[in-house]
Structure 1
């Protein structure tokens, strides 16, 4: 790569901002899919396949939201992810805190209904010394 084509931290920040914007534009669709999976799972209790699908979808949104500074979505999905991971463990006792899981999905539904996905700007310059 020549010096003229070198990416600057500012140009990378701009690219990350575009990625963030694009992801947020699709986030309602991703959260709606999670809610459908949640409703399907709750209707078909003890369906391991449905639980795995739900976990994978939540895990994906939690990770991408963390990378793109969509903090509230990340925090809710990360908490859901931990509970679902416990549920996927065949050696774990029956999960006792179904109430917390239902509360988290309710919070996710509120974010989805409000279409309110706040994101902190990504600024690589702040992380450079």
Structure 2
């Protein structure tokens, strides 16, 4: 099999054709990107303590958050934002310049006028409401 850098060798015990085997294994390479994304975006490479079950639960919660983020990007985000990394998405949409205020027993989020992607943010918020 030929690749961009030359030839690729795969040693297996499957009896399928070379093209079928290459298609099967080719999709597995993207798993490294998902692992890197979970490390950078949610800190899945960091352990919180020395207890096994606490670390296990911590990792599960981080993976649940990562999967919710992927589902959010797939179902709610416009296609231009759905390919953003977790870090970039967080920087653009989660860390927005705003202040949370209370008045007359109601909480309001006052978003700064300098937030450039307000329209996209509102479209995503409306898409979330339509899911309910």
Normalising by the smaller structure, the TM-score range is under 0.3
Rg comparison, structure with higher value: 2
Higher strand fraction: Structure 1 or Structure 2?
2
TM-score (normalised: structure 2): 0.23
Greater relative CO (CA pairs within 8 A, separation 6+): 1
TM-score (normalised: structure 1): 0.24
Higher helix fraction: Structure 1 or Structure 2?
1
